[in-house]
Amino acid sequence: MIEKLNKLFESRVRLGIMAVLAVNEWVDHVQLKELLGVTDGNLASHLTALEEAKYVQVRKRFVGKRPNTSYKATAAGARAFRAHLDAIEQLLPRP
């Protein structure tokens, strides 16, 4: 049962990112940082890991004169997140 848990989601931050992206379209860096309560550097490294796994899609653009980076879950990322949640549920003791 345990092996079904996604290794990439062992980090609470990474799982948190996927949870937010599962229910929102594009979420920018600042919003993620505030929702998860983590530092910029910490968030960036986790996002890079998710990006490399092709679980999140990155969009960089300018809002006015400020650079703005937003993230979105890819189809594969959303699937992996749901599978991970199912696996967690399997771990729950049956009532």
Residue ranges that bind other proteins, judged by CB under 8 A: 12, 15-16, 19-20, 22-24, 27, 31, 34-36, 85, 88-89, 91-93
Nearer to other proteins, 36 or 80 (CB): 36
Least Å from the CB of residue 20 to other proteins: 4
Least Å from the CB of residue 51 to other proteins: 19
Q: Which of 94, 95, 89 is nearest to 4 (CA)?
A: 89
Q: Which of 53, 52, 60 is nearest to 26 (CA)?
A: 60
Please, are residues 17 and 24 in contact by the beta-carbon 8 Å criterion? no
